[in-house]
């Protein structure tokens, strides 16, 4: 007899399917892992930006106090910093919109969230993240919240958290830092 039987043909098709399916499955898992890594790295940068901005506000208040002069520069600067970040001490925290206040220090860029902070948008032209949408902006899965806690009279704990959802799962990145008064 010559030719293949039906069982031989089915076995050959199964072997080919397994030999092709395995690498395809591995490739799809590698793509998912790469996307998860990209999302986590972006969230890490966004959380770090929140910490750096609050640090910049503190430093800017010190520089403004130093320029005014006086005998108690550090205390005056710390009190001014405390006033700027005060809205962020609530449990809902603050959003960060650096584009609103390029000069820093007046507190306009830190806006108190009502109950939950709003998601971020990506400006397609400048590739910057923003709290506000627009015609040239795309809604992103990331939401950044900045909270400040009093540790002592001259020590603040800054907590910057970015949360996002991907493939039906919740993810988050949380960075904390301590800021103290200039001495």
pLDDT in tens, 44-82: 999 999 999 999 889 988 999 889 888 888 889 999 998
Residue 176 to residue 158: CA distance in whole angstroms: 5
Residue 114 lies in a domain: yes
How much is the pTM? 0.81
**Angle, vertex CA 120, rays to CA 115 and CA 126, nearest 5:** 155
pLDDT in tens, 91-117: 888 988 876 655 544 445 888 888 888
Residue 169 lies in a domain: yes
Residue 65 lies in a domain: yes
Residue 63 lies in a domain: yes
Residue 1 lies in a domain: no
Query: Structural domain of residue 73, as residue ranges?
Result: 6-180
For all residues of the chain together, what is the average pLDDT?
86
Count of domains for the chain: 1
Residue 86 lies in a domain: yes
């Amino acid at each position: 007899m010559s030719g293949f039987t039906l069982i031989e043909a089915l076995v050959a098709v199964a072997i080919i399917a397994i030999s092709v399916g395995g690498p395809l499955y591995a490739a799809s898992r590698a793509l998912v892992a790469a996307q998860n890594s990209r999302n986590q790295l972006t969230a890490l940068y966004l959380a770090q930006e929140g910490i750096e901005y609050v640090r910049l506000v503190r430093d800017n208040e010190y520089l403004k106090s130093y320029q005014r002069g006086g005998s108690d520069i550090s205390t005056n600067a710390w009190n001014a910093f405390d006033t700027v970040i005060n809205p962020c001490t609530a449990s809902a925290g603050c959003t960060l919109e650096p584009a609103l206040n390029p000069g820093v220090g007046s507190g306009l860029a830190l806006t108190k969230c009502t109950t939950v902070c709003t998601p971020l948008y990506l400006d397609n032209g400048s590739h910057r993240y923003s709290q506000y949408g627009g015609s040239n902006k795309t809604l992103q899965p990331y939401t950044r919240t900045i909270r400040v806690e009093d540790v002592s009279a001259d020590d603040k704990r800054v907590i910057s958290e970015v949360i996002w959802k991907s493939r039906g799962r919740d993810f988050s990145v949380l960075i904390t830092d301590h800021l103290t008064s200039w001495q």
